[in-house]
Structure 1
Amino acid sequence: MFTGLVQALGTLESLSDGYARIRYRCANYEAIARDLAVGDSVAVDGICLTVETILAQGFVASVSPETLTRSTLGRPSPTPASVNLEGSLRVGSKLGGHFVTGHVDGIGCLQSSVLMDNSWEMTFTAPPSLERQWRDRIARYIVPKGSIAVNGISLTVADCDDDSNWFTVAVIPHTYAETNLRELQPGSWVNLEGDVLGKYVEKFLHHGKPTPNGRDRQLEAISPEFLSEHGYL
């Protein structure tokens, strides 16, 4: 589990034979490296990877075929790519962003990045070849003022169309300066993860408990009492 608050930047130096080699690229990588151990989870551009080897200035993590299919790791950059890094959430740590699992739903594409008075307005859409994936895996979790993880960064959706074919986020100067969002160009791919709480709400709405005849029971009315009973406080 992660928070979507990036702690350091790294470089994806190589990806082969199911392993990704990550090198720290900034001086403040101690937040990641201090307690890092083999078997730990690290979010790499929002992808939860398991550390296999500790290096002097980085680490090696295993990458599954499913991860390559779902994320930007399956679409390598011609040059070493900058990646956002975040260590897993510790018990008692501050939760400043939102719950991010590191299980990427799919990829999006930067449409535009416009400097406003005190933020960057960034618009993301579906890559033309992945519009079906966008609708099936991503679009239904995008709502105005809802949370979304873009390359592992916890952001708030500022606006989206009715079908969520596109969405915009307002990125503050600190986030823009400390993450790889500043390196994106129109057409750049990004990893997207919808809010996990929205996924559980969807589950409640569409899947009632089965009755003896095999049909789904009519779902109870959604009320504050219902949500509290099922863990939404």
Structure 2
Amino acid sequence: MFTGLIQAQGSLFHRGNTQVYVRWDTLPLPPALGDVALGDSIAVDGICLTVETILPDGFVAAVSPETLDRTSLGRLADGSRVNLESSLRVGSKIGGHFVTGHIDGQGHLEAAIATEDAWRLSFTVGDRRVARYIVPKGSIAVNGISLTVAECSPGGDWFAVAVIPVTYRETTLQHLRPGQAVNLEGDVLGKYVEKFMGSQADPPAGAPMDSGLSLEFLAEHGY
């Protein structure tokens, strides 16, 4: 589990089709990444990877065919900059939102426009697996960065976010170019709500019909 608050940046290099090597670019490392151990989880551009080998200047992690298929990882050129975040520790502050590191799908940067006090980034989303969870003022993880949806189309196939200067400067958002793919993860709370509502609409044979969960109940309690 992660929060979507990026702690460092790294450069990614492929080792065949089954491993990636991530070299630290942010030095000195923050404490959360400075004591990385074998088996630890690290979000790399929002993708939860497991540390298999620790090197003096980085680490090696395994990647699965599903990861390569679902994310932009397989299409990143060697040396590409990536966002890094260590897994959430019990008792740590949660300044973003709960991010699992399990990518729902990809989107593409449409435009990045500098405003007086922020950056406005807009994205197109061609993957229904993630578009369905994009709602106004909801949370979205873009390459592992916790962001708030400023506005979006009704179907979620387009959305825009406002990015403060420090986030733009300290993450790989500054390197994105129009048309470039990004990893997207919808808010896990929305996924559970969708699951529960679907179960209520079509319960198994013999199951109770009324779970107490309804659209009216969710609206009344701020969902």
Aligned to 1:175: 167
Q: Residues of 2 paired with 1:138 and 1:190: CA distance?
A: 12
Kept after mapping to 1: 8 A contact 2:4/2:85: yes
Aligned to 1:21: 21
Runs of 4+ deviating beyond 6 Å: none
SS of residue paired to 1:205: helix
Kept after mapping to 2: 8 A contact 1:20/1:61: yes
Distance apart, 1:163 and its partner CA: 1.3
Letter in 1 for 2:88: L
Alignment of 1:35-50 (within 5 A): 35-50=35-50
Q: 1:211 aligns with which of 205, 208, 213?
A: 205
Letter in 2 for 1:210: P
Distance apart, 1:219 and its partner CA: 5.3
Q: Residues of 2 paired with 1:178 and 1:147: CA distance?
A: 19
Q: Residues of 2 paired with 1:12 and 1:72: CA distance?
A: 12
Distance apart, 1:26 and its partner CA: 1.8
Aligned to 1:142: 134
Kept after mapping to 2: 8 A contact 1:9/1:84: yes
Q: Residues of 1 paired with 2:53 and 2:32: CA distance?
A: 14
CA-atom RMSD in angstroms: 2.2
Q: Residues of 2 paired with 1:221 and 1:35: CA distance?
A: 43
Q: Relative to 1, partners in 2 of residues 1:32 and 1:14: Cα closer, same or farther, differing over 3 Å?
A: farther
Kept after mapping to 2: 8 A contact 1:3/1:89: yes
Stretches of structure 1 lacking an aligned partner (at least 5 in a row): none
Q: 1:189 aligns with which of 173, 181, 197?
A: 181
Aligned to 2:123: 124
Q: TM-score, normalised by structure 2?
A: 0.92
Q: Relative to 1, partners in 2 of residues 1:28 and 1:178: Cα closer, same or farther, differing over 3 Å?
A: farther
Alignment of 1:53-72 (within 5 A): 53-72=53-72
Q: Residues of 1 paired with 2:35 and 2:18: CA distance?
A: 24
SS of residue paired to 2:182: strand
Distance apart, 1:164 and its partner CA: 1.2
1:112 aligns with 2:111: yes
Q: Residues of 1 paired with 2:94 and 2:58: CA distance?
A: 25
Q: TM-score, normalised by structure 1?
A: 0.88
Point out the more displaced range, 158-167 or 24-33: 24-33
Letter in 1 for 2:165: P
Kept after mapping to 2: 8 A contact 1:207/1:216: no
Between the aligned residues of both structures, percent identity stands at 56
Distance apart, 1:32 and its partner CA: 4.3
SS of residue paired to 1:13: strand
Kept after mapping to 2: 8 A contact 1:18/1:63: yes
| Structure 1 residues 76-132: Cα deviation after superposition (integer angstroms, max 9, x where no partner) | 22x511000000000000000000000000111000000011111000003xxxx3x
